[in-house]
Amino acid sequence: MKKPYTRIYADAAASTPIHPRVGKRMIALLDTFGNPGGLHAEALAAARELEGARKEIAEAIGAHADEIIFTASGTESNDLAIFGMLRPLLREHKNMHAITLPIEHPSVLEPLEYLKKHEGLSLTHVEVDEDGLVSPKEIYEAIAPDTALVSIQLVNSEIGTIEPVREIAKMIRRARKERAAAGNTLPIVFHVDAAQAPLYLDLKVEALGVDLVTLDAQKVQGPKSVGVLYRRRGVDLEPVILGGTQERGLRAGTGNCVLAGAFAEALTIAQKGVEVRAKKVAVVRDYLLAEIQKVIPGTEVNGTMTSRAPNNLNISIPGLDGEIAVIALDAAGIAISTRSACSTEDENPSHVLAALGHSQSRARTAIRITLLPDATKQDAKCIAQALKDAYTLYQKPHDLG
């Protein structure tokens, strides 16, 4: 398949180009303009497409159609999971506790910090090790009698670390049984931000053992401005956007069958080819790392290489500022980044690398390379050469005359 772009795009964790099949489906749906909430033919046609997309997404992750809530982004899905689940409990019980990791995406950390500051939430950040991995046992030990929510990203958006979600789910089930035996009826809900995962990991929700899952179309070769929150049956939420009864009363706003259908197509494609795609891109990623370390000795890998998204490479190159590297590679026709696109205006070094115990200097020299599924070894060679050129130029004395 011919690439739909001429540059080397290696910032897939931020966004991905639309898959050709997804684009075709979007175009085919553009004439389905009716409001799904109406009763006439045009409205009913839109409603059929919207509900068909909901069913497809449910099938892709092994869920029920009524467990799929459409949102406008992964960030909104995280907001709905966190605010929608915790606010009713905070009003009723006053004292509530949540658990997360210090390396989470800002769309998880900031809502939790807001609830802590303004609404009395007690919050625990369970530390990760130097590879970015959390111990399921430490999650279990952090659970208190008033713990209502555990929120953990399946694949870290900066260093690609794959957290042991299944093992954490087992610890949470153990804590639930102990809580029930003690007569405590407060739920412990497990929310997982899986936005970075669908292209490379199987996301069957029952096997993961989760209650709430965030997905984002733009991360899986779908369009922007459409996300999904999977809500397991029996998990209570309240809406954060009011003004209508759409999405079973949990998300007001006219349903968009074009974006929903495109997301369904993208997620179905992503999940059907997971294993082959993961193996293929891992070969290119590992080749890229070897090439970079060959031309720039001293390059350091941030995060584990054994439990990591196969397209992710986060490295620090001592002596080369990360932002300078991004600008230099952009000029060479290559797109990379320093960290999550939602944090690029923050002048402080990456909170993720800080949580791993790395110095500010190592964090400032970090770059994130996240390959697309069709990345090649030739792409890897070009990236490594461009980094070498940037590094060599940056080491030369600069004439400030």
- Asked whether the predicted pLDDT for residue 49 surpasses 60, the reply is yes
Mean pLDDT on 40-66 = 98
Q: Where are the domains of the chain?
A: 8-17+274-395, 20-272
pLDDT number for residue 372? 98
pLDDT number for residue 396? 67
CATH class, range 20-272:
alpha beta
pLDDT number for residue 399? 47
Mean pLDDT on 58-66 = 98
Q: What is the dihedral of CA 233, 236, 242, 243, to 10 degrees?
A: 50
- Assess whether 257 carries a catalytic annotation: no
DSSP 155: B
- Asked whether the predicted pLDDT for residue 397 surpasses 70, the reply is no
In tens, the pLDDT along 126-172 reads 999 999 999 999 999 999 999 999 999 999 999 999 999 999 999 99
- DSSP labels, 109-140: HHHHHHHHHHH--EEEE----TTSPPPHHHHH
30 backbone dihedrals φ, ψ, rounded to 5°:
-60, -30
CATH homologous superfamily of 8-17+274-395 equals Aspartate Aminotransferase, domain 1 (3.90.1150.10)
366-370 and 312-316 strand pairing: antiparallel
In tens, the pLDDT along 367-391 reads 999 999 999 999 999 999 999 999 9
Mean pLDDT of the chain: 95
Name the nearest CA neighbour of 218 among 322, 346, 45, 370: 370
Spatial CB neighbours of 283, under 8 Å, sequence gap ≥ 6:
none
In tens, the pLDDT along 220-232 reads 999 999 999 999 9
Spatial CB neighbours of 398, under 8 Å, sequence gap ≥ 6:
none
The residue from 72, 342, 381, 394 that is catalytic is 342
Contact (CB, 8 A) for 291 and 381: yes
Contact (CB, 8 A) for 213 and 205: yes
In this prediction, what percent of the chain has a pLDDT beyond 70?
Answer: 95
Cα 345 to Cα 390: distance, rounded to the nearest angstrom:
23
